[in-house]
Structures are given as structure tokens and as C-alpha cells.
Amino acid sequence: MLLKIAALLSPADLKQARDLLDQADWQDGRLTAGAQAAQVKNNQQLPVGSESARALQTLLLKALEGHATFFSAALPKRLLPPMFNRYAGEANTYGKHIDQAIRYVPGTGQRVRTDISCTVFLSEPEEYEGGELVIADTYGEQRVKLAAGDAVLYPGTSVHRVEPVTRGARLASFFWIESMVRSDEQRRLLFEMDQALMQLRGEHGESDAAVQLTGTYHNLLRMWADT
């Protein structure tokens, strides 16, 4: 499932993130890429563990924690600490690749299976030319370029790339999620059911049928989740 989440970051969060990014030092993005990805990766990243990266991580994680749509779609079990990248000038693209299935949390060595990939856009679309995140989907390619503060979630199994940025700079946060529900198909069913239930309650209030369906949602989650 490819899902766009509008305004994951509030305007205040976004302003703070941009201030931190303005003062940050960048390094070659290839340092954290696997062998195949390193051949096509040409961008910059904040050094993992740097002061600015840590402050930005705290900000991002706080926004994610309280976000109902993010939780309902991702059903997160573990998160890799969010990372931050920049595409501009000579370092302006990331060619076709697939993300590594298993990544290690820096410092702890804990393994995380990358069920879901997430990009949070931190530049407005008008600030740069190009830079679309192009994701291969069951129904063809999706070209994603969102407002600053918006996010996209997509299955870790998808081949994707970032088009060259030919003007300005594209700033983003990217990270991976291991979900309690490993299957993308099952996660999608649960998300659709949860959204439909909220709509049902919003339109018709509480009812025996809504209670029963909520029970069914939780019983499916109990059957499929691995906590």
C-alpha cells in the first residue's frame, strides 16, 4: 500500500526542522548504502548520531508517536531512527534501488526488518525542480512530490528512485518501519477497516454493528500481529 499522509509535521515542527537543517553539516549519502544502492546513490545525509540528527530525530519521533493515521497504517513494532537527506548541486539523485531488508539500529546493533519505507518531505515543491520519489507499484509508477511536512509510506519491497534535482535543494527525512503485521496485504485490510469504522462512527454514531466490527478488527489484529 502506498499512502500519503498530509501534515505529519505541524508548521511549528517544520520551522524547527528547517532551522536545524540549515545549521547542519552534510556527508556523502553512500556511506550508509548497501552495495547495489551505493552505485546509484548520489546525495547527502546528516551523519548518524550528530547533534543535529539527534535533535531532528526527537522532533520526528514525537510527531509520529501521536499520529493516528500513521499508527493505523504502519502498526509499528520497531522504527529505525529517522535519517535526513539533501539533493542539490552535484549530489542530486538516487537511482533505481530496493532498500535493504534488514538494517541495524546504530549504537545498539538491534535488527529491524524494513517492512515499510517512509519519506517525509521537508522542502516545499516550489523550492526545487525534479526530485520526485518514483515508486514502482502494482499498477505502474507513482511519482510522489509532496508539500513540506507531508509523508509517504510505501512497501519496503518496492523498487524506487529519486529523480535528479535540477534546481534548488530537496530536503527530506527517510526511515524504515518494522510492522507488527508483516504482510502488506493484511496491513492494508486492517487500515481500510479501521478507516471505514471511523467514518461509520462519525456518520452514524455508535451501534451494535460498529462494536462488532471493531471486535473483528481487533481479532484480526490479534491473529496477524507479532508484537
Annotated binding site for 2-oxoglutarate: 170
Maximum Cα–Cα distance for the chain, whole Å? Answer: 60
Q: Which of 162, 165, 180, 181 binds ligand AKG (CB under 6 A)?
A: 162
Q: Which of 44, 64, 99, 128 binds Fe ion (CB under 5 A)?
A: 99
How far, rounded to the nearest angstrom, does the alpha carbon of residue 89 sit from its chain's CA centroid? 24
Per the annotation, binding residues are 97, 99, 160, 170
AA letter at 134: V
Q: Should residue 115 be labelled a site residue for ligand AKG when binding is judged by CB under 6 A? A: no
Q: How far is the CB of 204 from ligand AKG (least distance, A)?
A: 39
CB burial class (10 A; 0-12, 13-18, 19+) of residue 118?
A: buried
Cβ-proximal residue to ligand AKG, closest one: 119
Residue 30 or 201 with smaller CB distance to ligand AKG: 30
Only segment of 3-11, 99-107, 134-142, 180-188 that touches Fe ion (CB under 5 A): 99-107
- Of residues 168-187, those binding ligand AKG (CB under 6 A): 172, 174
Per the annotation, binding residues for Fe cation are 97, 99, 160
- Reduced to 3 states (helix: H, G, I; strand: E, B; else coil), residue 120 is strand
Cell of 66: 501521536
Please give the helix or strand (H or E) that residue 66 lies within, else none: none
Q: How far is the CB of 155 from Fe ion (least distance, A)?
A: 12
Q: 157, 165, 46: which is closest to 94 by C-alpha?
A: 165
| Residue 162 near which of ligand AKG, Fe ion, none (CB within 5-8 Å, type-dependent) | ligand AKG
List, as one string, the DSSP characters of 130-187.
E--EEEEETTEEEEE---TT-EEEEETTS-EEEPPEEEE-EEEEEEEEEESS--HHHH
Q: Should residue 132 be labelled a site residue for Fe ion when binding is judged by CB under 5 A? A: no
Q: Should residue 163 be labelled a site residue for Fe ion when binding is judged by CB under 5 A? A: no
- Footprint on this chain of Fe ion (rule: CB under 5 A): 99
- Footprint on this chain of ligand AKG (rule: CB under 6 A): 85, 94, 99, 119, 133, 160, 162, 172, 174
